[in-house]
Amino acid sequence: MKKRSKNTQSNLPAGWVENKQITINGRSVEVGTELSIRGESGRFRFVNHMVTPKHEWIDVIGGKKGYEKFRSFRIDSVRTVHRIARTRQSIG
């Protein structure tokens, strides 16, 4: 059986950019880095950063313990970029 090759082409619309590493509040943020969001309970793990011609946001997974969800937030809503991970490793 022939091994499937990975699709390296992006399925994003024209003008959209996806980043897996950015800087927030002077700290480097990579996939899995934990963040706290203003007005939200719990911690979130960074997934990616999306840029379109009109908007910019981050996608994260997390929230209150036991109620983790996939969410999107504006970058200016990040309160803290945590240095020490405390959430379950399996959600990020």
Backbone angles phi, psi at 80, to 5 degrees: -140, 140
Write down how long the chain is. Answer: 92
| Residue 3 within any structural domain of the chain | no
Q: Is the residue at 38 inside a domain?
A: yes
- Whole-structure pTM value: 0.81
Structure tokens at 1: 């059986």
Residue 26 lies inside a defined structural domain of this protein: yes
pLDDT by residue, tens only, the chain of 92 residues: 566 656 566 788 889 999 999 999 999 999 999 999 999 999 999 999 999 999 999 999 999 888 889 999 999 999 999 988 777 665 54
Is 60 part of a structural domain of the chain? yes
Number of domains in the chain: 1
Question: Residue 39 falls within a domain, yes or no?
Answer: yes
Q: Please report whether residue 1 resides in a domain.
A: no
Residue 92 lies inside a defined structural domain of this protein: no
